[in-house]
Amino acid sequence: QVQLVESGGGLVQAGGSLRLSCAASGRTFSSVAMGWFRQAPGKEREVVAAISWSGGRTYYGDSVKGRFTISRDNAKSTVYLQMNSLKPEDTAVYYCAARSFRLATLDLDGYGYWGQGTQVTVSS
């Protein structure tokens, strides 16, 4: 079992930045791959970014490449999502997820543990 708690969401103007955090507890954090996903009203949940157990491999959804950065601190059992150059279309609930494998995937079906989500709103 892995418990995940997101934080860091809020309201920001277009062009601004936010950093999301996801604190994990339970299963050994350093042995699981992590991902960030988001869901806007009326839309399907989509992948934002994913990171392998060691942080050595990262993957990004096309809509955030070059603007968002995923990272992790295994000593703190925390994964981060640095979001820069935010756009109104980035507005969504952002979810942290974990999978019981060391290698990451961009497929949300590959993740078995989910946090409650944190709202990010970008105003124009």
Q: Could you tell me the two tokens for 49?
A: 């970014």
Cα(116)–Cα(124) distance, rounded to whole angstroms? 26
Which pLDDT score, from 0 to 100, does residue 82 have?
A: 98
Residue 10 backbone dihedrals phi, psi, to 5 degrees:
165, -165
Which pLDDT score, from 0 to 100, does residue 77 have?
A: 95
Does the pLDDT value for residue 27 go beyond 80?
no
Residue 40 backbone dihedrals phi, psi, to 5 degrees:
-90, 160
For the segment 66-108, what is each residue's pLDDT rounded down to a tens digit?
999 999 999 999 999 999 999 999 999 999 999 999 999 999 9
Measuring CA to CA, which residue among 63, 119, 70, 69 is closest to residue 87?
63
Which pLDDT score, from 0 to 100, does residue 36 have?
A: 98
C-beta separation of 88 from 41 below 8 A: no
